[in-house]
C-alpha cells in the first residue's frame, strides 16, 4: 500500500466513524448519504459529494460522507437533492467555494501523506475516546 493509500484509508475510517456516531449514535452503523439506507459502517465507502478526487479536496471533511458502494460507484457523487440538502446546511458560499477548489491541482509530492495518516489515526482515537466517555462529538 502506498503512503497515499494509507492516508486515505485512515481518513476514510475516521470520517465514516464520525458520521456514523452523528447519524445513528453508534460508530458501527451509518447511513448512506444518497439512498439513506443504514449499513454497517465498515461496508460503506467515504464518498465525495461532488465529482473530483483532487488532492485539494481529497480530505474535505464537510463534503465526504458515508455512501454505500452502489450509490458511490454506480450513481456517482452528488444527486441534485443531496446538493440541495447540503446547500441548506452549509449555504451557497461554502458550496461554491468548494466546487472551485475541486478544480485546483496540488501535486502528490506536495502532500504530506504520512502526516495525514497519523493525523487521522489520532483523530479516530480521540473520537472513539470521546464517544465511549459519553462526550459530545
Ligand atoms: Zn446508497
DSSP for 36-97 reads --EEEGGG-EEEESSS---TTTTT-GGGEEEE-HHIIIII-S--HHHHHHHHHHH-HHHHHH
C-alpha cell at 72: 458511490
Does the pLDDT at position 128 exceed 70?
A: yes
Gap from CA of 133 to ligand 1 centroid (Å): 31
Does the pLDDT at position 85 exceed 90?
A: no
Gap from CA of 115 to ligand 1 centroid (Å): 31
Gap from CA of 44 to ligand 1 centroid (Å): 9
Record the pTM: 0.91
Check residue 75 and give its pLDDT: 65
Residue owning grid cell 458511490: 72
**Where does the pLDDT of residue 17 fall: very low under 50, low under 70, confident under 90, or very high at 90 and above?**
very high
Does the pLDDT at position 66 exceed 90?
A: yes
Query: What is d(CA 7, CA 89) in angstroms, rounded to the nearest whole number?
Result: 28
Amino acid at each position: 500500500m502506498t503512503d497515499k493509500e494509507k492516508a486515505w484509508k485512515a481518513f476514510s475510517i475516521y470520517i465514516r466513524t464520525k458520521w456514523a456516531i452523528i447519524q445513528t449514535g453508534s460508530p458501527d452503523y451509518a447511513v448512506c448519504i444518497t439512498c439513506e439506507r443504514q449499513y454497517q459502517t465498515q461496508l460503506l465507502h467515504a464518498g465525495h459529494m461532488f465529482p473530483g478526487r483532487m488532492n485539494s479536496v481529497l480530505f474535505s471533511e464537510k463534503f465526504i460522507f458515508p455512501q454505500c458502494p452502489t450509490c458511490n460507484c454506480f450513481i456517482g457523487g452528488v444527486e441534485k437533492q443531496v446538493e440541495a440538502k447540503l446547500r441548506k446546511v452549509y449555504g451557497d458560499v461554502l458550496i461554491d467555494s468548494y466546487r472551485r477548489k475541486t478544480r485546483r491541482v496540488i501535486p502528490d509530492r506536495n502532500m504530506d501523506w504520512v502526516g495525514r495518516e497519523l493525523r487521522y489515526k489520532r483523530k479516530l482515537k480521540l473520537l472513539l475516546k470521546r464517544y465511549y466517555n459519553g462526550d459530545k462529538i
